[in-house]
Amino acid sequence: MSYQIKTIGLLTSGGDAPGMNAAIRAITRAAIYHNIRVKAIYRGYKGLIAGEIREFTTQDVSNIIQRGGTIIKSARSDEFMTKEGRAKAWQSLQREEIDALIVIGGNGSFAGALALTEEYDIPVIGLPGTVDNDLWGTDFTIGYDTALNTVMECVDKIKDTASSHERVFFVEVMGRDAGFLALNSAIAAGAEAAIIPERRTQEEQLEAYIGNGFRKSKNSSIVIVSEHSEKGGAQALADKLKAQHPEYDIRVSILGHLQRGGSPTANDRILASRLGVAAIQSLLEGQRTIMVGVKDDEVVYVPLTKTINEHKDVKQDKVQALHILSI
């Protein structure tokens, strides 16, 4: 069924990601360009339930393309994951006469959108917004490139201390259950190894990575650890290695939320702008339950169910390249 969309609702949900503002700007301007009204929903699904909604004009999104975070705030809502919560959200949508919803977020946010459309038959369009890059069907998610560059710059700095003091550093990075940030930042920063959830790392293997570095020309080692890849994270790995090699001078650095902040890179701004325009275009074409993504530099429409259920793997040649380059 295709019907005329007069008003869209727009929200950001889950962890904020650099480039979300660029997406908000693009969605707002593309909608208004096509004579569609835009209602910004504050604080994600929480705000949708509470009715924190305001109409946006083109001025509301001026001068935000360069800003990190999200001007309409974000939240994680347990209530929306319940039928009762979604019933309240539906009431808000009806009250505001919103006839399609655009959600910028990650997997959990899309799962919420899917549940809503299954119960209330409202078109929902997802924009991939997460630093984790873990969404199937798109080569990149909004925020990932910025976070990757941030991690790389941090590791470059840590390397100065690592080499000056001849230390082993375990650097823990974000990614939830995915190793994209860890693996790619390890390659970009010239680290010795990346511990990622997609590939099991045996203790002997880890020792080999580091021992290899120390025995040869290197006087320091950097291991990037994806959070949740090992029980206890980077600290637990460091403790294990210290127990086996008390002679190593070991430090742990957990980068934390600094990876989610900052001005988006050109790549993230361009991706967010393209996908924002494409989201409105998809609604005009009668699409109802998709994520707009990018594959081989082309905009693609991916069924929301697929992106939620399929698993995106890291590239094996990158795992191999890191291994070869760490000698």
213 binds ligand F6P (CB under 6 A): no
46 binds ligand F6P (CB under 6 A): no
Q: Is 226 or 282 the residue whose CB approaches ligand F6P more closely?
A: 226
103 forms beta bridges with 11, 126
Task: Check 132, 134, 145, 268 and give the catalytic one.
Answer: 132
106 binds ligand F6P (CB under 6 A): yes
Q: Is 112 or 175 the residue whose CB approaches ligand F6P more closely?
A: 175
Q: Is 132 or 268 the residue whose CB approaches ligand F6P more closely?
A: 132
131 binds ligand F6P (CB under 6 A): yes
Q: How far apart are CA 189 and CA 285, in angstroms?
A: 43
Contact 181, 260 (CB under 8 A): no
Name the DSSP letter for residue 314. P
Contact 327, 212 (CB under 8 A): yes
16 is catalytic: no
Q: How far apart are CA 106 and CA 16, in angstroms?
A: 10
Question: Least distance in Å: CB of 50 to ligand F6P?
Answer: 19
Q: How far apart are CA 42 and CA 51, in angstroms?
A: 9
Q: How far apart are CA 11 and CA 20, in angstroms?
A: 10
Total residues contacting ligand F6P by CB under 6 A comes to 10
269 binds ligand F6P (CB under 6 A): no
Task: Identify which of 168, 253, 172 has the alpha carbon closest to the alpha carbon of residue 219.
Answer: 168
Q: Which two tokens stand for residue 189?
A: 């920063």
198 binds ligand F6P (CB under 6 A): no
Q: Is 227 or 230 the residue whose CB approaches ligand F6P more closely?
A: 227
Question: Quick one: which of 8, 9, 13, 15 contacts ligand F6P (CB under 6 A)?
Answer: 15
Identify the residue whose tokens are 């010239």.
Answer: 190
Chain residues that interact with ligand F6P, rule: CB under 6 A: 15, 106, 130-132, 174-176, 227, 260
The residues that are catalytic are: 132
